[in-house]
């Protein structure tokens, strides 16, 4: 079990696991070589490798050399989470190992690259997501909140990156190896993956009834009809969690004025001040 597997269990709380069939794990590899020369599966482990001189996935495709798995589950709204254990052998450098495909003005919303044993945000060597990733299993959790417009990356259960979303109407996850043109990519690149799963949850929680103690008063007929704007991840009881219960809104700071110019101490107070009817 990866070192962070147990510590990352809380990250999927409040999410629903998406049922995926084997046919939805689509292998993309250089078009002129047999599948077995760039991809192998041993039990639950997917092993993918590519050479810097390899062809793209089709003769007409503009992208570079890659052997990746496309998770064929397109999403355009709500909150989605990718989870998986990654292993990068020593020597692999200059490759994307995971990405969120789809954006308004770019091809991707997120790419995680490996350079000399460091996992980075795209090719920005100043934004190291994790160091020392060679030769060990690393648990990755990537949360894409489409409505809030942000992406959060956790490594072994610890939050390591928050990045802005990039718009777009369709997204999906990919993992494997995809040669990049920056920082002298290695001749051969490889990554291995296991325990890959996809989760989702609504961006807008369903209308709920909170008791009087929680909301500090009764609405019409004793019910609290409301719509709560998603707030993403919050720091709760010593760790970051997706906001899915009232206590999360209580600890979430409110750093924006509402439309009437009012300031609230936290997100829960803003909900009560604006949305109880």
Task: Give CA angle at 69 (103, 112), nearest 5°.
Answer: 55
**Do 233 and 158 touch, CB atoms closer than 8 A?**
no
Place of tokens 């009809």: 225
pLDDT in tens, 107-130: 999 999 999 999 999 999 999 999
- Which domains, ranges and CATH numbers included, belong to the chain? 6-201 (2.60.120.200), 212-275 (no CATH)
Using CA atoms, how far apart are residues 231 and 224, in angstroms rounded to an integer? Answer: 19
Higher pLDDT, 204 or 69: 69
Percent of the chain's residues with pLDDT above 70: 78
Q: Say what the pLDDT of residue 202 is.
A: 85
Radius of gyration over every alpha carbon of the chain, rounded to an integer in angstroms:
21
Q: Say what the pLDDT of residue 219 is.
A: 41
Using CA atoms, how far apart are residues 14 and 248, in angstroms rounded to an integer? Answer: 12
pLDDT in tens, 192-239: 999 999 999 987 444 344 343 344 444 433 333 344 555 667 777 776
In the predicted model, is pLDDT for residue 63 greater than 90? Answer: no
Higher pLDDT, 26 or 10: 26
Using CA atoms, how far apart are residues 2 and 4, in angstroms rounded to an integer? Answer: 5
Q: Say what the pLDDT of residue 91 is.
A: 97
In the predicted model, is pLDDT for residue 76 greater than 70? Answer: yes
Percent of the chain's residues with pLDDT above 90: 67
Using CA atoms, how far apart are residues 277 and 273, in angstroms rounded to an integer? Answer: 10
């Amino acid at each position: 079990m990866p070192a962070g597997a147990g510590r990352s269990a809380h990250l999927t709380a409040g999410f629903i696991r998406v049922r995926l069939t084997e046919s939805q794990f689509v292998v993309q590899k250089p078009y002129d070589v047999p599948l077995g020369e760039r991809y192998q599966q041993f039990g639950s482990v997917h092993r993918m490798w590519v050479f810097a001189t390899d062809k793209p996935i089709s003769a007409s495709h503009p992208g570079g050399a890659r052997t990746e798995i496309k998770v064929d589950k397109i999403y355009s709204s709500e909150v989605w989470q990718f989870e998986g254990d990654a292993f990068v052998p020593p020597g692999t450098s200059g490759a994307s190992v995971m990405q969120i495909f789809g954006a308004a003005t770019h091809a991707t919303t997120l790419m995680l690259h490996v350079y000399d044993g460091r996992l980075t945000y795209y090719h920005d060597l100043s934004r190291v997501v994790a160091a020392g990733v060679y030769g060990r299993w690393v648990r990755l959790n990537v949360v894409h909140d489409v409505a809030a417009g942000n992406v959060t990356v956790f490594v072994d259960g610890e939050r390591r990156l928050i990045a802005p979303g990039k718009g777009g109407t369709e997204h999906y996850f990919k993992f494997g190896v995809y040669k990049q043109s920056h920082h002298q990519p290695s001749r051969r690149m490889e990554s291995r993956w296991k325990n890959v799963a996809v989760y989702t949850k609504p961006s807008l929680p369903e209308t709920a009834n909170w008791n009087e103690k929680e909301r500090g008063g009764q609405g019409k007929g004793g019910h609290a009809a409301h719509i709560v704007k998603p707030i993403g991840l919050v720091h709760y009881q010593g760790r970051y969690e997706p906001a899915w219960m009232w206590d999360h809104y209580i600890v979430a700071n409110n750093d924006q004025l509402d439309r009437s110019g009012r300031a609230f101490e936290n997100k829960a107070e803003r909900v009560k001040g604006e949305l109880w009817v």
